[in-house]
Amino acid sequence: MLLSTLCVILAAARQAWTQSSTVDAYIASQSPLAKADLLANIGPSGSKSMGAKSGIVVASPSNVNPDYLYTWTRDSAVVFQVIVDQFSLGIDTSTRGEIDNYVASQVIIQQVSNPSGTITTGGLGEPKFNIDETAFTAAWGRPQRDGPALRSTALITWANFLLTEGNTSYVTNTLWPLIQNDLNYVAQNWNQSTFDLWEEVDSSSFFTTALQHRSLRQGVQLANALDQTSVVSSWTTQAGNLLCFLQSYWNTAGYITANTGGGRSGKDANTVLASIHTFDAAAGCDALTFQPCSDVALSNLLTYVNSFRSIYPINSGLANNVAAATGRYPEDSYMGGNPWYLTTLAVSEQLYDSLIVWNQQKSLNVTSLSLPFFQLFDSSVTVGTYASTSATFTTLTSAIKTFADGFVEIVAEFTPSSGSLSEQYSKSDGSQLSAADLTWSYAATLTSFDARAGVVPASWGASGLTSSCSISTGGGGGGGSSGTVSVTFNVDATTVFGENIYICGSVDALQNWDPDTALILSAANYPIWSITVDLPANTEVQYKYIRKFGSSLTWESDPNDVINTPSGGSFIENDTWR
């Protein structure tokens, strides 16, 4: 029996070594190709940028079926976050000219009037522009409010690096005005509906909310460093509201619901991408900010990956502890609904980020929520904390590294010898589909490889954050934990710009009438403001809505609103502001 067990262990180790060698070879060959292909899509001198202005990122050179020959604020910021991170960490310091060009291009783009408005009337929410820096005026899913958040974080990262070099004047005179424009937009508009990063659903988006929260936290740090303190109070307040709202996306079935609308399951790469784009190693495995190694993020990752196992033929026959090709969301039908390179790589990156933190803190924690994830790799593991000196830590981290490498190996299998990466690869045979040379595919390749190598991006301030709004992980299917009922409050309330609606009431879940910690509602379906809260079952609950605008606070008029919660299930209460 002992010999048999030893043979199994050796076979697994041999398989892991073979896979690791394959991934090592792929990274060695693909890294320079991916970087070159990424830069080829940036104007003015990129070989595939097709006449783009200086500093403009072309989403893809493809101009027919589909036509991606535009510059997206979101995609461009993701690309330059990679470039700035690699420059500031000393990985590639040859790109200063490209960074300077990008900054100059965004000075122009921010001021371009477009169908979403001007710079003062909502124009920063415009998702894409022509590559000659003019407005794209055809019908589109607009606004998309993730762009300003992502652009500001890339620029803040660059600003922080330049401050270490003593280049304060450039940061203050050139970068700060751009950053302030974006973050004022975030602070003023985060609670309004937005099209998600796939440009299909108009509601609230986990990806957008998470990136908006990060951007304001980073912005406050930079504002203090530059003594630009007039914005600190407003941005800090809205960052707190965003952190609170971020918790509302959690589904007690064990995953993050990507969008508040759309009529889909909510299982979506949106959530994995949000986790890696808000990675802050200094925050450890913090669940409040959905850090990659948090139990909520790992539970979500497992649910997301498993949702594709039975719908893609190329995943047929794979065991649950083996990597699988993943796409945007299981209900996807765009171009036939196929896996994407960037989403498959995002899974690997979240796992590599997790390994970075576990190795730094020299332990990992298994909770009841993350237990099913860890049991993929050791069926005997139980809830508890495992030090790096333990055999369990070694077993788990080694197996998770192999699991992560498996997602890169899938991408490697479907990468041609040229290294070119399209947007999608076929769910049937892995052949490339949709837009050729997608710039974000190359960016995702580079960030996954860097994470595997243990590269740690600069901290953005996620460590030590607290919120009166916490994640409830009990129960399932949105029905609340034992003895609770999921109650959705909808209130019809017309507000002025910058004003928000809150709720508090007579039970712990409604903050026991404390207006300072009242729960903020979403205006995704304005003028209907909404929030879903788990309340005690079979209970009379009194509550009121509150208006907050800056430091002013207005209670709804008397008497208190009252509901009697049912014994189980869910409940919807529709109100009108009094």
The answer as to whether 479 is a domain residue is no
- For residue 518, give Cα distances in angstroms to 7, 336, 467: 59, 44, 11
Query: How big is the CA angle at 184 (ends 102 and 514), to the nearest 5 degrees?
Result: 140
377: left (phi over 0), alpha (psi -120 to 50) or beta: alpha
- Please choose, from the candidates 339, 344, 313, 347, the residue with its C-alpha nearest in 3D space to the C-alpha of residue 424: 339
Q: How far apart are the C-alpha atoms of 97 and 576, rounded to whole Å? A: 55
b/e burial code for range 530-545 (CB count within 10 A of at least 16 → b) = bbbbbbbbeeebebbb
- For residue 509, give Cα distances in angstroms to 30, 515, 542, 557: 51, 13, 12, 22
CB 261 within 8 A of CB 201: yes
Q: How far apart are the C-alpha atoms of 530 and 501, rounded to whole Å? A: 9
What's the number of domains the chain is made of?
A: 1
Per-residue pLDDT, 15:
54
The 10s digit of each residue's pLDDT in 10-66 is: 445 445 555 668 899 999 999 999 999 999 999 999 999 989 999 999 999 999 999
Q: How far apart are the C-alpha atoms of 448 and 446, rounded to whole Å? A: 6
- Please choose, from the candidates 431, 424, 426, 366, the residue with its C-alpha nearest in 3D space to the C-alpha of residue 395: 366
- For residue 122, give Cα distances in angstroms to 126, 185, 245, 352, 496: 8, 8, 22, 37, 15
Q: Is 199 a catalytic residue?
A: yes
Q: How far apart are the C-alpha atoms of 455 and 449, rounded to whole Å? A: 9
- CATH number, domain of 506, equals 2.60.40.10
Active-site residue (options: 199, 331, 378, 499): 199
**DSSP 3-state helix, strand, coil percentages of the chain (rounded to 5)?**
45, 15, 40
Q: How far apart are the C-alpha atoms of 474 and 527, rounded to whole Å? A: 31
Q: Is 85 a catalytic residue?
A: no
The answer as to whether 341 is a domain residue is no
Q: Where are the alpha helices (DSSP H) in 194-256?
A: 206-225, 232-246
The answer as to whether 76 is a domain residue is no
Q: How far is CA 382 from the centre of its chain?
A: 29
The answer as to whether 325 is a domain residue is no
The answer as to whether 531 is a domain residue is yes
Q: Where are the alpha helices (DSSP H) in 414-522?
A: 439-452
The answer as to whether 149 is a domain residue is no
Active-site residue (options: 182, 196, 202, 575): 196
The answer as to whether 225 is a domain residue is no
Query: How big is the CA angle at 326 (ends 324 and 331), to the nearest 5 degrees?
Result: 130
Instruction: Find where tokens 């990985």 sit.
Output: 91
pTM of the model as a whole: 0.83
Helix (H, G, I), strand (E, B) or coil at 236: helix
CB 455 within 8 A of CB 91: yes
The answer as to whether 425 is a domain residue is no
Residue 140 annotated as binding site? yes
Q: Which domain holds residue 559?
A: 484-576
Q: Six-digit token pair at 494?
A: 């017309």
Provide the residue count of the chain: 578
Per-residue pLDDT, 10:
44
- Please choose, from the candidates 569, 277, 288, 558, the residue with its C-alpha nearest in 3D space to the C-alpha of residue 440: 277
- For residue 311, give Cα distances in angstroms to 305, 384, 428: 11, 34, 10
b/e burial code for range 97-120 (CB count within 10 A of at least 16 → b) = ebbebbbebbeebbebebebeeee
Is the CA virtual torsion 387, 276, 241, 199 positive or negative? Answer: negative
C-alpha Rg value of the chain to the nearest Å: 24
Low pLDDT (below 70) residues in the chain: 1-20, 470-482, 568
Beta-strand ranges (E) seen in 147-288 are 194-195, 202-203, 250-251, 255-256
